[in-house]
Chain A
């Protein structure tokens, strides 16, 4: 069964450093998303991406964040200068296949900023 994959599973970085989180969405999906979940809290939307551009972004997704689909398979989230409060689990999701509205989530990347 196709699934969303994410790398790395855990990333530790120092405050101020740049990080890139990588995702491979399900191959026939058209819509891609990043969400984050601070430990013990609810899941928060960051950004959605369709047709090679951002379709919607939240207030959290400020100038420090960017997304890119550099090739036909990868979808990346970059944080330019990490802050302590960026520590969270970051989930990639995709949708738009046969179960058109269903959003499938990847296993997540745990980002720890020290």
Chain B
């Protein structure tokens, strides 16, 4: 059974600082997803990583995937307040199948 773990669960960062959220998964996975969720809102797709060594960047967020280590990272560069949200990673195996989500990282950016 595929299991996904994220750390940290809570992260409070100062504006302008850099930090990384880690996502480990337990068995072979074909795809790794990152989503953002604002309080009371839905899940916004950020990245889909499909292969080992994949790196994607959008603004101050950069995601990478190491399938050998079964690890994905979400790196935040020069954080700004607008990035405050909960970030979930999710893994999938096989075809267009279910996503198994991590516990989420609640990110708070403080001035």
Interface positions of A (Cβ within 8 A of B): 30-31, 33, 35, 41-45, 48, 50, 55-56, 58, 91, 95-96, 99-108
Contacts and interface: CB of A to CB of B under 8 A. Distances in A.
Contacts of A103: 33, 45, 99
Interface stretch (B10-18, B20-28, B64-72, B89-97): B89-97
B106 to A, nearest CB: 10
Interface of B: 31, 33, 35, 41-45, 48, 50, 88, 90, 92, 96-104
Contacts of A43: 43, 88, 90, 99, 101
B96 A50 contact: yes
B103 A48 contact: no
Given A50-B96, A103-B33, A108-B42, A44 B48 contact: no
Contact of A33 (B42, B98, B103): B98
A56 B45 CA distance: 22
A105 B90 CA distance: 13
Contacts, number: 57
A50 to B, nearest CB: 7
A87 to B, nearest CB: 15
A55 B97 contact: yes
24 contacts: A33-B99, A42-B88, A43-B88, A43-B90, A43-B99, A43-B101, A44-B101, A45-B98, A48-B96, A55-B97, A56-B97, A99-B48, A101-B50, A101-B96, A102-B33, A102-B45, A102-B48, A104-B45, A105-B43, A105-B44, A105-B45, A106-B42, A107-B41, A107-B42
A25 to B, nearest CB: 13
Given A96-B96, A100-B96, A42 B101 contact: yes
A45 B42 contact: no
Given A42-B103, A101-B50, A106-B42, A48 B88 contact: no
A42 B45 contact: no
Nearest to A103: B99
B72 to A, nearest CB: 15
A83 B98 CA distance: 24
